[in-house]
Amino acid sequence: MAMTGVLRPGHVQVRVVELDPAVHFYRDVLGLVETGRDSVGRVYFKAWDERDHNSVVLRQADRPGIDHFAFKVRDSVTLDKFDGDLRAWGVRCEGIPEGEMLSTGRRLRFEIPSGHLLELYSEKEAVPYPGQLHNPRPWTEAAEHGIAPVRMDHALLYGPHVNQNLALFTEVLGFYLTEYVTLPDGKTKGALWLSCSIKAHDIAFVEHPDPGRLHHVSFLLESWEKILRAGDILSMNKVPVEIGPTRHGITRGMTIYGFDPSGNRFETFCGGLQSYPDQAPIEWSWEELPSGLDYPQRKLHETFLSVVT
Ligand code: M3P
Ligand code: FE
């Protein structure tokens, strides 16, 4: 089997300052499917075409941001192997028992050099929609509710020591570097896009003095038309849009960024490069960062580098 190790982003737990407006946004504007609420008040969602029970978990808290970002690994043996490999690399790991999150098996939690909590897990209950696994239709009614992405796709996280993150992800977790931005010194990597698949990225990091910050969680749409439709839906609901619709130079994805009611940035995007681990990573110079972010306008939107939660 070609796919082993880390399979894909599995879930993100996001902090929101008020639960009801957040649930309205994620369920009815973004168009995720609510799949449960737990005894501590967290609300669980999946995208309509995802099969596992949850990919976005909202937790009410005093400040917005990200609690943790989790990747699904191939199986339980793989999870134990990562546990050993991480410890051997000097990373302290904490075991979170099965059931701490709804429909989710045991998780391995650890802090990465940028100050983010990452998790690995291998088991999550599959809850396909009726008919999804037998002569399925290409879409269901849920695919028309709100923006309705097909999956939670990646996150961009801001924090210090991103080059140590690069070492951890490539040397222990089996990721490879797809693209990077070189700082004005002409050699230090200041932004990194990393893949565990053939996607342009499964996670990305930008160097930033404050640890553990969320830049955005991104959701995949199927077409440029759906990006434009997402823009319409965001405006109809008076959601603050930051950038787009436009195209990134970096990854070549087509995108819109906006903010949830707590100020957490999200992205809906489509397309982009496909990557393979034998390919050398693409370098972007600091001077071309504006076109890397917004290719048509060649514009480094100031808020993109400064606003994080
Ligand atoms: C993405 C993406 C920058 C580009 C960001 C790209 C920092 O968020 O999904 O490809 O220029
Ligand atoms: Fe993104």
Q: What percent of the chain has pLDDT over 70?
A: 100
Q: How far apart are CA 156 and CA 136, in angstroms?
A: 33
Closest ligand 1 atom number to CA of residue 304: 7
Give domain 148-306's CATH number out of 3.30.1120.130, 3.40.50.300, 3.10.20.30, 3.10.180.10.
3.10.180.10
In the annotation, is 53 catalytic? no
Residues contacting residue 133 through CB under 8 Å, at least 6 positions apart: none
Q: What is the mean pLDDT of residues 64-69?
A: 98
DSSP notation for the chain = ----SEEEEEEEEEEES-HHHHHIIIIIIS-PEEEEE-TT--EEEE-TT--BS-SEEEEE-SS-EEEEEEEEES-HHHHHHHHHHHHHTT--EEEE-TTSSTTB--EEEEE-TTS-EEEEE--B-B-PPTTTTSS--S--GGGGSSS--SEEEEEEEEES-HHHHHHHHHHTS--EEEEEEE-TTSSSEEEEEEESSSBS-SEEEEE-SSTTEEEEEEEE-S-HHHHHHHHHHHHHTTPPEEEEEEE-SSTT-EEEEEE-TTS-EEEEEE---B--TTSPPEEE-GGGHHHHH-TTTT---HHHHH---
**What is the structure's pLDDT at 2?**
80
Residues contacting residue 183 through CB under 8 Å, at least 6 positions apart: 189, 190, 207, 286
* Protein residue closest via CA to atom 7 of ligand 1: 293
Mean pLDDT score of the chain, rounded to an integer?
97
In the annotation, is 216 catalytic? yes
| 1: pLDDT strictly greater than 70 | no
**What is the structure's pLDDT at 178?**
98
In the annotation, is 215 catalytic? no
| 238: pLDDT strictly greater than 70 | yes
CATH code linked to domain 6-124:
3.10.180.10
- CB of 269 within 6 A of ligand 1: the answer is yes
Tokens at 66, concatenated: 């990200």
Closest ligand 1 atom number to CA of residue 215: 8
Closest ligand 1 atom number to CA of residue 269: 9
Task: Write out pLDDT tens, residues 164-205.
Answer: 999 999 999 999 999 999 999 999 999 999 999 999 999 999
Pocket test for ligand 1, best of 255, 257, 275, 297 (most atoms within 8 A of CB): 255
The domain limits of the chain are 6-124, 148-306
* Protein residue closest via CA to atom 4 of ligand 1: 293
Is the pTM here over 0.95, yes or no? yes
Q: What is the mean pLDDT of residues 238-245?
A: 96
Task: Write out pLDDT tens, residues 10-63.
Answer: 999 999 999 999 999 999 999 999 999 999 999 999 999 999 999 999 999 999
Task: Write out pLDDT tens, residues 83-122.
Answer: 999 999 999 999 999 999 999 999 999 999 999 999 999 9
Please indicate whether the domains covering 6-124 and 148-306 agree at the CATH topology level: yes
Catalytic annotation, pick one of 53, 68, 116, 154? 154
Q: What is the mean pLDDT of residues 258-278?
A: 97
Burial label, 138 (beta-carbon count in 10 A; 0-12, 13-18, 19+): exposed
Task: Write out pLDDT tens, residues 130-157.
Answer: 999 999 999 999 999 999 999 999 999 9
